[in-house]
């Protein structure tokens, strides 16, 4: 479970980053992680969707360089790679989060 792949941010295209953010469930996940880092799956509050779907959403966010996942016992801890993402796409995540519906 613990061999997570995290891309270099230089390898992430703008279109790929936007694609990862272009989903209501993933937007919620990112917003939650922006507020309180280091959550596990259940902690993202997106648990109306099935586990397998969530797992896939996490993979999409990882592949877009938005989050980093670590195994912690049988949980998975996730954090936003905010500094790196902001360095790669300045202002983008801020404006996306600011425009998210409350």
Which stretches of the chain bind a copy of itself, using CB under 8 A? Answer: 13-16, 18-19, 21-24, 27, 89-92, 94-96, 98-101
Does residue number 76 form part of the binding site for DNA (CB under 7 A)? yes
Q: Which of 27, 41, 64, 96 binds DNA (CB under 7 A)?
A: 41
Q: How far is the CB of 15 from DNA (least distance, A)?
A: 10
**Distance linking the first and last C-alpha atoms of the chain:** 33
DSSP annotation of 79 reads E
Q: How far is the CB of 45 from a copy of itself (least distance, A)?
A: 17
Least distance from C-beta 67 to a copy of itself, angstroms? 17
d(C-alpha 2, C-alpha 34), whole Å: 23
Instruction: List phi, psi (to 5°) of 80.
Output: -70, 140
């Amino acid at each position: 479970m613990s061999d997570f792949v995290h891309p270099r941010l230089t390898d992430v295209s703008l279109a790929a980053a936007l694609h990862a953010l272009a989903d209501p469930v993933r937007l919620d996940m990112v917003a939650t992680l922006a507020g309180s880092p280091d959550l596990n799956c259940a902690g993202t509050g997106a648990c109306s969707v099935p586990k397998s779907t969530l797992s896939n959403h996490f993979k999409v966010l990882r592949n877009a360089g938005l989050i980093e996942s670590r195994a912690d016992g049988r949980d998975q801890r996730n954090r936003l790679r905010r500094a790196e993402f902001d360095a790669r796409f300045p202002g983008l995540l801020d404006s996306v989060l600011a425009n998210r519906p409350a």
